[in-house]
Amino acid sequence: MKKCYLGIDIGSISTKGVIIDYNNNILAKDYLETNGEPIQAVKKLIKSLKEQLPDDYVLKGIGTTGSARKLIGLMVDASIVKNEITAHAIGTLAIHPDVKTILEIGGQDSKIIILRNGIIVDYSMNTLCAAGTGAFLSSQAKRLSIPIEEFGNMALKSKTPVKIAARCTVFAESDLIHKAGLGYSKEDIIAGLCKSIVLNYLNNLGKGKKIEGPIVFQGGVSKNKGVVKYFKEVLKMPIIVDPNGHLMGAMGMAILAKQKETDKVYNLNFHDISFVTKGEECNRCSNHCEILRIYKDDELVDAWGSKCHRV
C-alpha cells in the first residue's frame, strides 16, 4: 500500500481539497463552492476526492486550513490545523521553490507573503476593508450584470481604463456609478475596477514590503486576467499564475500533514457521520458570549466562544 495525504482549504467562497502522494504529486483534487455551509461542502468534497483516488493508497494524514479550519479539523479529526499564511507559503514552495513574493487575493481577505531562501520573512493580511478582495469584484460584476467568468476577458479589451478610487469599497462603488452615468463603456469601467483592485492591494498590503520576483499570484481573483494584466503593468515584473494556484493552501496542508505523519491511518467515510453545531448566547454575565457547541454523532465534542471557558 502506498501512502497519501489529504489537505483541505475551506475558504469563505470556495472549498478546495487535494490528495498527494509521498512525492507531492497530486492524486486527486476538487474545488467547489462553500455556499456558507462548510460542513456540507467538505462532505461533498471528500466524496468526490474518494472517487478519484486509486484503490492502492492508504491515507496517513489530514490537514485543514482556511476560515473554517478549526471546525472542519474537528470533524475530520485532522492531524494538523494551520493558518492560511503558512499553508499557502508551504504549498507554493513545493511547486515554485525559488518564489520570493506570493500575492494572494481570495474571496474575503487578501494577503502578501514575502519569502527569501524558502522561508517566510514577512507577511501581511488586509485588516479593515474588503475593497481589494474577490467579494467586491463579484458584487460589482452582479451590478453590471456580467458573469464573473467573463470579467477578465472584457477588461482585456479596454485600452483606456477609467480611474476608480482605490481606497475604499464605498468610494469605488460611487465612482463606478458616476462613471457609468457619464457614459463610459463597460469594458473601460471593468478594466478600471481591475486596476483599482491592484492599486488598493499594493497600497494596503504592499506598503513597505520589498516585492521581488519571482512573483506568484494566487487565490480566486488570480483567475481574472484583467487583474493579472494590471499587476504586471504596475509592478513592471512578470507574474506567475499557476493553473493549480487555487489549490496551494490545500496542497500546503497536505505537505504539513505528511511532515507530521504518525502510525494513525485515516479513512474518508464522513458522509454518514452526523456533525451538528448549535449556537447559543450565554446570559450568565454581561459579556454575552456567543457559545457554539459542536456535536459529533450526538456527542458534545467541543464548545467555543466563551471568555471564561465555560461549556
By the criterion CB under 8 A, which residues form the site for another protein? 67, 82-86, 117-123, 125, 127-128, 208, 210, 285-289
Q: Report the residue number, 97 or 118, with the smaller CB distance to another protein.
A: 118
Q: Report the residue number, 262 or 286, with the smaller CB distance to another protein.
A: 286
Contacts of 164 (CB under 8 A, 6+ apart): 172, 175, 176, 179, 189, 192, 193, 195, 196
Q: Report the residue number, 19 or 71, with the smaller CB distance to another protein.
A: 71
Backbone angles phi, psi at 182, to 5 degrees: -75, -15
Q: State in angstroms the smallest separation of the CB of 127 from another protein.
A: 7
Q: Report the residue number, 122 or 233, with the smaller CB distance to another protein.
A: 122
Distance CA 30, CA 42 (A): 11
In contact, 309 and 291? CB cutoff 8 Å:
no
Cell numbers at residue 22, please? 509521498
Task: Let me know how many helices (H) and strands (E) the chain has, helices first.
Answer: 9, 13
Reading across the β-sheet that carries 110-116, which strands appear in turn? 119-125, 110-116, 101-105, 215-218, 239-240
What is the amino acid identity at position 213?
G
Q: State in angstroms the smallest separation of the CB of 83 from another protein.
A: 4
Q: Report the residue number, 119 or 182, with the smaller CB distance to another protein.
A: 119
Q: State in angstroms the smallest separation of the CB of 109 from another protein.
A: 9
Q: State in angstroms the smallest separation of the CB of 122 from another protein.
A: 7
Distance CA 50, CA 269 (A): 9
Q: State in angstroms the smallest separation of the CB of 67 from another protein.
A: 8
Q: Report the residue number, 113 or 176, with the smaller CB distance to another protein.
A: 113
Contacts of 107 (CB under 8 A, 6+ apart): 11, 12, 13, 14, 133, 134, 135, 138, 220
Q: State in angstroms the smallest separation of the CB of 286 from another protein.
A: 4
